[in-house]
Chain A
Amino acid sequence: MTTAVSGTGPPRPARPGPFRRLRRSFDAYWYAWAMVLPVVVVLAVLVGYPLGRGIFLSFTDANEANVARTIGVNHIPATYEFVGLDNYWKVLSGQEGHFYGRLAWTVVWTGSCVFFHYTIGLGLALLLNRRMRFRGLYRVLLILPWAVPAFVATFSWRLMFNEKYGVLNAVLDRFGVGAVDWLGDGPLQKMSAVAVNVWLGVPFMMVAILGGLQAIPSELHEAAEMDGATPWQRFRHVTLPGLRPVSRTVILLGVIWTFNMFQVIYLLIGQGASSESEILVTYSYRLAFQGVRDYAGSATYGILILSLLLVFAVFYRRLLTRQEAAR
């Protein structure tokens, strides 16, 4: 049996004919291929095909009225047409849906959420990483927001933000401050959304960074201390570099998750009305499922979001490799 266990690598014989090569590689690898087959099928059917279809739809003018559908026993064939890059042009030239305004807000939303997630998470992790009383209790309380399903938490915050009966305004009232319309249109609505998402996301970062902190060998800290490093220097030159592998992963994941964060915005701001605080994902969702369902427009937005994230991921990786090389 020639199946390669990691490290040994497949044998490299002198080049035989193409058919024999295929045959041999099948003999060598069929176990591996059989084991990844289910995943490949799932991804191909549920991600690959829809993606292809999404790209196709974004080049058409498909909407609710002209896609193929079945009403009773009658099957109505699709009548939408191929329109080329028209959808992209409409979106990117700003004619439809205020793309750039929304993009700017989505970037601000992602940036501020991930920034607060990371800094607050890092701060709390540093505090929790000390020996002290009630450490276990603090830890449990601090990860509580993570344990609550996001849609439940969002509704709870909506109740607390309620202008007339919300607890936040009731507390403000005690201090003589008038009622604040937390979820009304405008910058305050955006800040409320960021606050909810930060509340939801900090525990993940905190626990991940805590794991990273505990993986830093304590000898490094001891050695730095022997050399007379101040606490700040130790943090700057021992802790932060030690956290780099963890930080890299959680920041990338955080950006992707926040950029696509659907539930908080959708459930907090209300499903019906159009709002300035909508990010690209929720806007695209609303295009597809509200009013006259604009499948093509929604698909266009989806493809644009995906392209943006891919570009970001590539640049992020390149930046990290360059940093690594400069070291």
Chain B
Amino acid sequence: MSARPGGRAVRAQAPRTVRARGARSRGASVALHATLIAAALIAAFPVLFVVFVSLRGRDGWQEPTRFVGFTLANYGHVLAHTEFVVWFGNSVLVALGATALGVLVAASAGYAVSRLRFPGHRPLMWTFLVVQMFPMAVLIVPLYNILGTLGLLDSYPGLIVTYCSISVPFCAWMLKGYFDTIPVEIDEAGRVDGLTPFGSFWRLIVPLARPGLAVTAFYSFITAWGEVAFATQFMSSERRYTLAVGLQTFVGQQKAEWGLMTAAAVLITVPAGFVFFLAQRHLVAGLTAGGTKG
């Protein structure tokens, strides 16, 4: 923010200087870059710090300001002597399952809400919005009991289905916004050529909406990848932990293996961050499109 008043002050001093549109004085430029550099440092520091600590060996975290003793020992230990690889596999499995199921369900609903007017249309849109307000605290106990009755506690399908309930309303909302941007004429052309509404959805709209679908897929994936509350209660045996649960075991009440924790954190963040940077540009566009046109 500080660049703004700085820029104005300079302009007030030299009102007669002719400057191209959007050009800045030197002072404004410096202030602009200084602010952005400071903000970028704050944003990046914790991430870099974790990478730094993870490279410092098992007890390196106790001397956070010294630059000696770099080693990959933490990574070796995490991969070889803990259940990290199993947890990683569990997380991938659950996240992919939730993504596939969620996107499929959300896409067909999003299309119907976007293109077809039918009784129940408005209540459904409202439901999508309202469900996002549900604190997991309302659902977690009943879901825990239901899954317990069905014998789905501590199992992958139970957790996958649970994650679907979190991501589906939001994905349907986002996809509705995306489908709205695809011209209706395409559906009509398909209809003229004899496709059913479902046919035109599957053969025409789904291929065209691939960017939108990709974004919802990324969203579901990231949500499932980072979910803590349900996984902590539902997955009780160590071989079934997801990463979010497993990471808590490194830093418990008795021990504090911060060295291992940071190494695991880096290994968890790399795939999530990669997926994220592929998607982030579209993520916001899809989100705000759904929201503003609702």
Q: Which residue of A lies closest to B113 (CB)?
A: A36
Q: A203 CA to B119 CA in the complex, in Å? A: 39
Which of A5, A51, A160 is B138 in contact with, Cβ under 8 Å? A51
From residue B287, how far is it (CB to closest CB) to chain A in Å?
Answer: 7
- Distance in Å: Cβ of A187 to nearest Cβ of chain B: 22
Interface residues in B83-123 (C-beta closer than 8 Å to A): 104-106, 108-109, 111-121
Q: Are A38 and B105 in contact (CB under 8 A)?
A: yes
A47 within 8 Å of B (CB atoms): yes
B141 touches A298 (CB 8 A): yes
Residue B142 contacts which of A53, A165, A167, A266 (CB distance < 8 angstroms)? A53
From the candidates B47, B127, B265, name the one contacting A155 in the complex (CB within 8 A): B265
> Could you tell me if B228 and A267 are in contact, using CB atoms closer than 8 angstroms?
yes
For A65-96 the 0/1 string (1 means CB < 8 A from B) is 00100000000000000000000000000000
CB <8 Å contact, A302 and B137? yes
**How many interface residues does chain A have, given as a range?**
35 or more
Please give the distance in Å from B180's CB to the nearest CB on chain A: 9
Contact assessment for B42 and A147 in the assembled complex, using a CB-CB cutoff below 8 Å: no
Query: Which residues of A are found within 8 Å of B131, using beta-carbon distances?
Result: 43, 47
CB contacts (< 8 Å) of B287 on chain A: these are 208, 249
- The complex places the Cα of A256 from the Cα of B253 at a distance, in Å, of 31
Closest CB-CB distance, B161 to chain A, in whole Å? 7
Shortest CB–CB separation between residue A232 and chain B, in angstroms?
8
**Contact among B4, B108, B191 for A126, CB-based, below 8 A:** B4
**When the two chains form their complex, are residues B4 and A285 in contact, meaning their CB atoms are under 8 A apart?**
no
Contact code string B259-294 (vs A, CB < 8 Å = 1, else 0): 001100100110011001100100111011001100
- B284 and A142 contact, CB distance less than 8 A: no
Residues of B within 8 A of A38 (CB): 104-105, 108-109
- B244 adjacent to chain A (CB < 8 Å): yes
* B142–A141 CB distance below 8 A: no
A132 at the interface (CB under 8 A from B): yes
> Does A142 lie within 8 Å of B43, measured CB to CB?
yes
Task: State whether A146 touches B276 (Cβ < 8 A).
Answer: yes
Decide if A171 is an interface residue (CB 8 Å cutoff).
Answer: yes
If over half of A's interface residues share one DSSP class (helix, strand or loop), that class is named, otherwise mixed; here it is helix
- 1/0 per residue A123-143: CB within 8 Å of B? 110111011101001101111
Which residues, 97 to 130 on A, are CB-close (under 8 Å) to B? Answer: 123-124, 126-128, 130
Using A149-B272, A171-B65, A211-B288 as known contacts, say yes or no to A31 and B141 having CB atoms under 8 A apart.
no
Residue of A28, A31, A259 most packed against chain B (CB within 10 A): A31
Q: Taking the complex as formed, is B229 at the interface, i.e. its CB lies under 8 A from any CB of chain A? A: yes
> Please, how many residues of chain B have a CB less than 8 angstroms from a CB on the other chain?
108
Indicate if A289 sits at the interface (CB-CB under 8 A): yes
CB-nearest residue of chain B relative to A10? B117
Nearest residue (CB) in B for A211 is B284
Give min CB distance, A274 to chain B, whole Å. Answer: 14
Contact B288 A144 (CB under 8 A): no
Complex formed: what's the CA distance from A35 to B113 in Å?
9
Q: What CA separation (Å) do A303 and B32 show in the bound complex?
A: 47
Interfacial chain B residues near A266, Cβ < 8 Å: 228-229
A143 to B187, CA, bound (A): 37
A57/B141 in contact, CB under 8 A: yes
Tell whether A6 pairs with B117 under 8 Å between CB atoms, given A124-B39, A171-B65: yes
> Cβ of B251 and Cβ of A36 under 8 Å apart?
no
Q: How far is the CA of A35 from the CA of B107 in the complex (A)?
A: 9
Chain B 1-38, CB within 8 Å of chain A: the 1/0 string? 10110011000000000000110100001001101100
Q: Of A40, A156, A289, which is in contact with the most chain B CB atoms at under 10 Å from its CB? A: A156
Q: How would residues 248 to 280 of chain A score, 1 for a CB under 8 Å from any chain B CB and 0 otherwise?
A: 111001001001101100110011100000001
Chain A residue numbers with a CB within 8 Å of B201 are 35
Cβ-based interface call for A242 (8 A): no
Q: Which 8 A-B pairs have the closest CB atoms?
A: A249-B291, A302-B138, A46-B165, A50-B142, A39-B109, A149-B226, A32-B118, A284-B137
20 contacts between A and B (CB under 8 A): A4-B117, A10-B117, A35-B198, A39-B124, A46-B164, A49-B142, A50-B139, A50-B143, A54-B138, A138-B40, A145-B46, A147-B273, A151-B226, A151-B247, A152-B226, A156-B47, A162-B258, A174-B65, A208-B287, A310-B130
If A147-B269, A250-B291 are given as contacts, then 6 extra A-B residue pairs at C-beta distance below 8 Å, sorted by A number, are A5-B116, A39-B168, A47-B165, A141-B40, A151-B247, A305-B138
